Every structure is written in C-alpha cells, then in structure tokens.
Amino acid sequence: LERHGESKSFHVYLVPRITLICQRILEDEGVLGSIQSFRQFECDLIPMDDDVISMELDSAFRECFMDGDCSSLYYVARALMRIQNQFGHIPEIRGKGRCAKQAVRMMQRMKQELSHDALKGMLPQIHQLYVLDRDVDLVTPFVTQLTYEEL
C-alpha cells in the first residue's frame, strides 16, 4: 500500500491458527491482497514452573464441558506433538478425565498419521506426562501461594 510516497506493508499473525472464516472476511473486505504475510502464531504452551506447562485456552472449559464442543482438544493434541518433536518420544502419556483421554488419543492418531521416524532415534528427555482435565481438579486455578501457606 502506498500513500504520499510512503510504502507500507501489512503482516497478520493469528493466534492460535488461521481459520477459513477469518480468511473469507478479509477477502470480502478486499484487504487480503494487501497483506504481505498471513500466518499463524502458535503460542500454546506456557511454562508455569520447571515441570508444569499450561495451555491457557480461556474458553476451552466452557466449550468442552458446557457447549459439548471438543474442537479445542485439537490444540492440546498438537501441543503434545510439539513437545515430543522437541524432547523425543514420551513413553508414558496418561490422561485423567474424559477430554484429557480424548486429547491423548487424538495425539496418538496424529503420531500414526505422520509416521514420526525422527522421534524413534531420539532418547526421550521426558519419561512420563500426565494430562489433566480441569473438571478433575476445579480448585487449583483458585489457589495462590498465600492459600497454600494457609493450608
């Protein structure tokens, strides 16, 4: 885009992924052609401690347990795959809760479909992984350091 002799370029990054709906809206508004790069930014894993990683999917609980929409589990399965690509095959992965088990099964299907030969040669750096549903433990999100000390 050029105005008054200045050249501008636009870059759009969507979190956590590009959706067809978003693409169509940009096309309908006539701005998709002006965008130099249109990509997704996967910032799904947030380290909370040395051995705790959180997904921070704000609406996932409501979607899965109240709306019955488990599409956010795809992001969980994809994140599990990313962890294994980085740290090697995790020999023992367990899910506690209906959605956690479904996400683990989804990840196992992804692994079979993609034929991860690269993981087979890597020594595992993580030996066990536990995936917990929020409905298994509803109290933990409300617990702070002060609450722990009071207990």
Give first-to-last CA distance, the chain, whole Å.
Answer: 60
Please state, in angstroms and rounded to a whole number, the distance separating the CA atoms of residues 90 and 126: 6
pLDDT tens by residue, 5-38: 677 888 888 877 788 888 899 999 988 888 888 8
Class of residue 30 by CB neighbours under 10 A (exposed 0-12, middle 13-18, buried 19+)? exposed
The set of residues, in sequence order, having a beta carbon less than 8 Å from that of 58 and lying 6+ positions away, is: none
φ, ψ of residue 52 in degrees (nearest 5): -130, 125
Kindly indicate the confidence band of residue 143, based on its pLDDT and cuts at 50, 70 and 90.
Answer: low
Amino acid type, 7: S
Average pLDDT of the chain? 81
**What's this model's pTM, rounded to 2 decimal places?**
0.66
Mean pLDDT lowest among 3-12, 62-71, 96-105:
3-12
